[in-house]
Amino acid sequence: MSESKVLLDLVQKELDQFCDARKTEFSQISSDLSVIPDYTKSLLSGGKRFRALFCYWSWVAALDVSPTQQTAEQKSRSTEAMVGICSALEMFHAAALVHDDLLDQSDTRRGEPAVHKRFEQLHANSGFAGSAERFGQAGSVLVGDMMLGWSSEIFGQALLKSPNPVIETHCREEFSKMRIEVMAGQYLDVLEENAAPIRSVDEAVGRANRVILYKTAKYSIEAPLLIGAAFAGAEPATLRALSAFGIPLGMAFQLRDDILGVFGDPAITGKPIGDDLREGKRTVLVALTRQSLMPSVGKIFDELLTQRSAEPEQIAFLQQTIKGSGALAKTEQMIEQLADESLAALERLELEPVAKQMLRDLAMRVINRQA
Q: What percent of the chain stands above pLDDT 90?
A: 70
Please give the Cα distance from 125 to 119 (Å, whole number): 10
pTM of the predicted model as reported, rounded to 2 decimal places: 0.92
**Which domain CATH number covers 63?**
1.10.600.10
Of 129, 162, 195, the one marking the end of a domain is: 162
Which pLDDT score is estimated for 271?
A: 72
pLDDT confidence band for 301 (50 / 70 / 90): confident
Residues 201 and 148 reside in one and the same domain? no
What confidence tens digit (pLDDT) does each residue in 46-59 have?
A: 788 999 999 999 99
DSSP H helical ranges for 28-49: 35-43
Task: Determine contact, residues 341/252, Cβ cutoff 8 Å.
Answer: no
Task: Determine contact, residues 158/84, Cβ cutoff 8 Å.
Answer: yes
Residues 123 and 1 reside in one and the same domain? yes
What confidence tens digit (pLDDT) does each residue in 21-49 have?
A: 999 999 999 999 999 999 999 999 978 89
Residue 176: domain span: 57-70+164-371
Residues 140 and 179 reside in one and the same domain? no
Domain contains 124? yes
Please give the Cα distance from 327 to 201 (Å, whole number): 14
Which pLDDT score is estimated for 223?
A: 97
Which pLDDT score is estimated for 33?
A: 96
Residues 179 and 264 reside in one and the same domain? yes
Domain contains 51? no
Core vs surface per residue 175-193: b (16+ CB within 10 A) or e:
bebbbebbbebbebbbebb
Of 352, 274, 266, the C-alpha closest to 308 is 274
Specify the higher pLDDT residue, 310 or 131. 131
Domain contains 52? no
Residues 151 and 261 reside in one and the same domain? no
Residues 192 and 147 reside in one and the same domain? no
Residues 62 and 24 reside in one and the same domain? no
Number of domains in the chain: 2
Q: What percent of the chain stands above pLDDT 70?
A: 95
Of 65, 241, 295, 32, the C-alpha closest to 142 is 32
Residue 155 CB coordination number (10 Å) = 23
Whether residue 153 is predicted with pLDDT greater than 80 in this model: the reply is yes
Domain contains 364? yes
Domain contains 316? yes
Domain contains 191? yes
Specify the higher pLDDT residue, 264 or 334. 334
Residues 217 and 346 reside in one and the same domain? yes
Mean pLDDT for the stretch of residues 290-315: 84
Of 127, 162, 197, the one marking the end of a domain is: 162
Whether residue 68 is predicted with pLDDT greater than 70 in this model: the reply is no
Residue 119 CB-half CA count within 13 A: 26
What confidence tens digit (pLDDT) does each residue in 244-300 have?
A: 999 999 999 999 989 998 888 777 777 777 778 888 889 999 999 998 888 888 888
Which pLDDT score is estimated for 371?
A: 57
Whether residue 308 is predicted with pLDDT greater than 80 in this model: the reply is no
Which pLDDT score is estimated for 276?
A: 83
Please give the Cα distance from 116 to 105 (Å, whole number): 9
Residues 237 and 317 reside in one and the same domain? yes
Specify the higher pLDDT residue, 233 or 270. 233
Q: Coil, strand or helix: which one is 64?
A: coil
Which pLDDT score is estimated for 46?
A: 76
Pairing of strands 112-113, 108-109: antiparallel
Amino acid at 184: A
Domain contains 237? yes
Residues 84 and 158 reside in one and the same domain? yes
Bridge partners for 112 per DSSP: 109
Which pLDDT score is estimated for 274?
A: 79
Which pLDDT score is estimated for 297?
A: 86
Residues 187 and 286 reside in one and the same domain? yes
Residues 150 and 176 reside in one and the same domain? no
Of 138, 162, 186, the one marking the end of a domain is: 162
Domain contains 250? yes
Which pLDDT score is estimated for 54?
A: 97
Which pLDDT score is estimated for 69?
A: 63
Q: Report DSSP state, residue 215.
A: I
Which pLDDT score is estimated for 71?
A: 64
What confidence tens digit (pLDDT) does each residue in 166-213 have?
A: 999 999 999 999 999 999 999 999 999 888 888 888 899 999 999 999
